Structure 1
């Protein structure tokens, strides 16, 4: 099933990103707490900067853990052409010129791209500008999106 494949691709990507983020957070924490990071004078900000970096990296780890849990704890949902777009929908949009775009509405991990049947799929969330325009729409509905700085009409031609 394609939805299972999508689900597993996203989970694998999040696991990889989490491993990298955890390593970065550990390295940043070690740097921030190292004895050489203690300020030697009031203008020495290396330790302070390292602590900000460590905090930011730790925040990224928490975000990735939450994103990963949201995919692992929710099975993929199948949609039909009679359903409305919601979280876990794979949406195929067609522009007036016949070109197609595929979007996956995920609970998290917006911006991640992957190939499905040799076509690029972009993960968006319901809170993104595109996601907000798509939520509740059905096959046959037209949405206006900004593409390359211009407004373009796209018809929802498939929902999985």
Structure 2
């Protein structure tokens, strides 16, 4: 098990979200420019490149808002005092029935984001996810089962901070 500095992990999360924000801003700009470009407007109702590009721009815009919201959440986050009970901002090490360990950060936003800390992957999960909601209130040593995608999985909380 890797000894984790939660402040450094938080800094890595913010850095990754900042990089994602830059990529999203570029994608929105490109999609918007494409949607209004003269070559995409089409001369008949069957030429839909402009319409498709506008849908893409709309989707990219929504993604940009999601990343902005997640970045704002983590930038204003003040880490709580260490607690043995899992809650928001807990860094959790889980072991499955095959003793494979996963490092998870429980958050209110940015579910699915992955970062690397000292060559250890950490996945952000939200309390709205099945696994996240199952973790809330657990402590090191607790065992539980959860059904995800029709498959029951067993986990043990190895540690939390």
**In structure 2, which of residues 5, 26, 29 is the aligned counterpart of residue 23 of structure 1?**
26
Q: Does 2:45 align with 1:39?
A: no
Cα 1:113–1:146 change in 2 (3 A) is farther
Counterpart in the other structure of 1:90: 91
Counterpart in the other structure of 1:11: 14
Q: CA deviation at 1:105?
A: 0.6
TM-score by length of 1: 0.88
Q: Distance in 2 between matches of 1:95 and 1:32?
A: 47
CA RMSD of aligned residues (A): 2.1
Q: Distance in 2 between matches of 1:148 and 1:74?
A: 32
Cα 1:40–1:26 change in 2 (3 A) is same
Counterpart in the other structure of 2:5: 2
Asked whether the equivalents of residues 16 and 115 of structure 2 are also in contact (C-alpha less than 8 Å), the reply is: no
Q: Distance in 2 between matches of 1:22 and 1:104?
A: 26
Q: Distance in 2 between matches of 1:25 and 1:127?
A: 28
Q: Distance in 2 between matches of 1:89 and 1:14?
A: 19
Counterpart in the other structure of 1:123: 124
Asked whether the equivalents of residues 114 and 124 of structure 2 are also in contact (C-alpha less than 8 Å), the reply is: yes
Question: Where does structure 1 lack aligned partners over 5 or more consecutive residues?
Answer: none
Counterpart in the other structure of 1:65: 68
Question: Where does structure 2 lack aligned partners over 5 or more consecutive residues?
Answer: none
